[in-house]
């Protein structure tokens, strides 16, 4: 899959201690019309979940790996079938997959885009909320942001 822009408005994050429940969650999200999901590598047997979900959902599903902390994590996730990667912070040297790279400060946004991030994962978003995101948009009008962390249903409406 070759992503050049964000083809989704909502990204579901799946994590947990039960690999079968995590897989069921990914499949249920897809059945219910959520077009993009990431499986956090903190999930028990996350790579197995990604492999099984990829097998079930097919090659075009927007299925990614989250909490990617290293080049090694990224390589294993890609081998398991992840179509994109999500990091909580700056990670250099990732393979040629689309990356949503975590950043909070303007300097980190600059670094994430310099590392080739498809989008910047504003993390943790709860620290600044929608007002902070709006402030970041002034110097970075062309950077797609994906706010993550501490967003409940009420806050999601404000971000959207």
Active-site hit among 31, 32, 96, 121? 121
Q: What angle do CA 9, 11, 17 make, to 5 degrees?
A: 165
What does the alpha-carbon distance between residue 100 and residue 116 come to, in Å, rounded to a whole number? 9
Task: Pick the closest to residue 102 from 130, 72, 123 (CA basis).
Answer: 123
Q: What is the distance between the alpha carbons of residues 85 and 98, in angstroms, rounded to a whole number? A: 6
Is residue 38 annotated as part of the catalytic site, yes or no? yes
Question: Under a CB-based contact definition with an 8 Å cutoff, are residues 12 and 34 in contact?
Answer: yes
Indicate if 32 belongs to the active site. no
**Active-site residue, selected from the candidate residues 5, 38, 51, 108:** 38
Q: Confirm if 121 and 90 have CB atoms less than 8 A apart.
A: no
3-state secondary structure 125-138: HHHCHHHHHHHHHC
CA 2 to chain centre: 15
Catalytic residue positions? 38, 121
């Amino acid at each position: 899959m070759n992503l050049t822009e964000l083809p989704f408005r909502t990204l579901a994050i799946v994590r947990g201690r039960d690999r079968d429940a995590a897989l069921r969650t990914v499949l249920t999200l897809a059945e219910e019309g959520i077009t993009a999901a990431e499986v956090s590598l903190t999930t028990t047997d996350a790579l197995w979940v990604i492999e099984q979900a990829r097998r079930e959902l097919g090659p075009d599903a927007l299925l990614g790996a989250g909490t990617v902390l290293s080049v090694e994590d990224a390589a294993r996730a890609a081998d398991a079938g992840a179509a994109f990667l999500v990091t909580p912070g700056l990670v250099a040297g990732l393979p040629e997959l689309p990356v949503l790279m975590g950043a909070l400060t303007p300097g980190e946004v600059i670094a994430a885009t310099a590392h080739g991030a498809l989008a910047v994962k504003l993390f943790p978003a709860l620290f600044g909320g929608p007002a902070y995101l709006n402030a970041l948009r002034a110097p970075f009008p062309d950077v797609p942001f994906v706010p993550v962390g501490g967003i409940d249903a009420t806050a999601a409406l404000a971000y959207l």
